[in-house]
Structure 1
Amino acid sequence: MDVPVLWQLAKLLVSIGVVLGLSIIAERVSTRVAGLLSGYPLGTAIALFFIGLELSPEFAADSAVHTLAGFTATLALGGGYLLGARRDGLVGVLRGTATGLAAWLATSLVLTSIPFTRISGTLTTLVAIVVFTWLYRRVPDVKASPKGGFSWPALALRAGLAAGIIFLITGLAHVMPAAWTGVMAAFPVTMYPFLVILHLTQGAAPVATVIKHYPAGLGSLVCYALVVSLTYATLGLWPGTLLGFAAATAWLLAWTRAQQWWQQRALDRARS
């Protein structure tokens, strides 16, 4: 199927805008918040929406079932990147990318061989969230310093990485089965370019903070993929996307409120 130029341009602009937004949040607000928002359905929403637009809502819905389990591979990518990216600069980025992609591919090969349902796919990722959250418990929180990274080279890097990954995923969807398409849709389209940019400009420590808090925000992605898998084929792309974002936002707000309550409770205990 020939994809209209307008759709291709839309993918490019949306991808660039999302990555730029995450970078601004990390530099001007906090890496912790950026890590949580990296788990918001940004790249996955872009990928599944355009897969549904270019192929069919039914195919995108079937793919979203495998996306539910595919987030486990995304967590593996983050863990692999964290293990390899111990050094600052380009060397750290290359090593982190190599170990992260290797972990993602190995996990994806396992996931695509399993006939997941919505329930089993969701449970798989929920277990992975708990495991990785525990593994990251001793990673220190390091705030990124504001540096205003809006140079033309930085903009080109953001555009190239984010748009390139989106185009690759949606392009491969035309020739790949739903299982692989779904797992690829779970790839951290916005988070990975963001990690590379943050790593190059501010070093490995803030990157580790983003990865540490990524599992906590992943629940919103699970909610989004679950709703999309149920609504794309019946309600269509736009209603399904809106309902997916509503569910993801509700989960993220509930999670944030629960964290605030837990922190206040811990503070009250410390004072008593």
Structure 2
Amino acid sequence: MDVPLSWQLAKLLVSIGMVLGLGAIAVRVSPRIAGLLAGYPLGTAIALFFIGLELSPAFAAESAVHTLAGFTATLALGGGYLVCGRRDGLAGVLAGTAGGLAAFLATSLLLTQVEFSRLTGTLTTLLAIALFIRLYRRVPDVLVAARGTVTWPALVLRALLAAAIIFAITGLAHVLPPEWAGVMAAFPISMYPLLVILHLTHGAAPVATVIKHYPAGLGALLCYALCVSLTYATLGLATGTLAGFAAATVWLLGWTRLQAWRARRLAPGT
């Protein structure tokens, strides 16, 4: 079907705002917080919503089932980027991107061969989260200092990256089965442009910190995808999206409280 121009513009504007917001948090607060927020259902929510809008809520709901397992491919992308993108500058970005995309596509190919249910898809990613958290335990946390105002080249790069990924995923959904569309919707639409910008402006060290903390934020994404897989076909896109964000927010608040409680228990003198 032909996609109205207004829908295309909406995708562009939402993508730009999402990436710029995460970039500002990474520089002005910390890459750790940015990594956690990158796991919030931003890019995936945009992709699944527009897939449902352009195709059907039922197609998007079926795709969301496979998105649950597809987050394992997202974790693989982070791991591939971390391993290959150890150099600073453009060379590190290109090497990290190549390694990350290769890991994402290889893992996606394996995942699309399996007929996942909501339970098995969720369990697959939960196991992957536990594995990657353990693998990243020795990656150091590195803070970055703010560097003046955002330049126009950086703004344009962020906009192009986010828009290109959103348009590619929603466009491919028109020709791919729900299994592939769902896995593609798990692509880190918000995290990947953030990695590129941080890598170009601050080097590989803070990028590694963002990747390290990304798995801990995936719980919100799992809650979102699980919720919309149950609600899109019955409640519609608008209500289903709101329900998904509510579920993700509840999880994120609970996770934050748990982390604060653990920090207090581990603090000296307690």
How far has the Cα of 1:148 moved from its partner?
A: 3.7
Letter in 2 for 1:250: V
| Cα distance in 2 between the residues matched to 1:149 and 1:262 | 36
Partner residue, 2:222: 222
3-state SS of paired residue (2:211): helix
Partner residue, 1:161: 161
Q: Does 1:180 align with 2:180?
A: yes
Question: How many residues are aligned here?
Answer: 270
Partner residue, 1:260: 260
State TM-score, norm by structure 2. 0.99
Letter in 2 for 1:168: A
**Is the 8 Å Cα contact of residues 41 and 224 (structure 1) preserved in structure 2?**
yes
Letter in 2 for 1:65: V
**Is the 8 Å Cα contact of residues 18 and 190 (structure 1) preserved in structure 2?**
yes
Letter in 2 for 1:257: R
Letter in 1 for 2:14: V
Partner residue, 2:11: 11
Partner residue, 1:238: 238
Letter in 2 for 1:192: Y
Cα-to-partner distance string for 1:131-172 (whole Å, 9 max, x where unaligned):
000000000000111014521110110010000000000000
| Cα distance in 1 between the residues matched to 2:223 and 2:44 | 12
Letter in 2 for 1:11: K
Q: Does 1:271 align with 2:250?
A: no
| Cα distance in 1 between the residues matched to 2:88 and 2:145 | 15
**Is the 8 Å Cα contact of residues 83 and 99 (structure 1) preserved in structure 2?**
yes
3-state SS of paired residue (1:116): coil
3-state SS of paired residue (1:271): coil
How far has the Cα of 1:271 moved from its partner?
A: 2.2
Show structure 1 runs of 4+ deviating over 2 A.
Answer: none
Structure 1 stretches of 5 or more lacking a match? Answer: none
Partner residue, 2:143: 143
In structure 2, do the counterparts of structure 1 residues 119 and 148 end up closer, same or farther at CA, with 3 Å as the change threshold? farther
Identical aligned pairs, as a percentage?
75
Cα-to-partner distance string for 1:64-105 (whole Å, 9 max, x where unaligned):
000000000000000000001111000000000011001001
Letter in 1 for 2:159: A
CA-atom RMSD in angstroms: 0.7
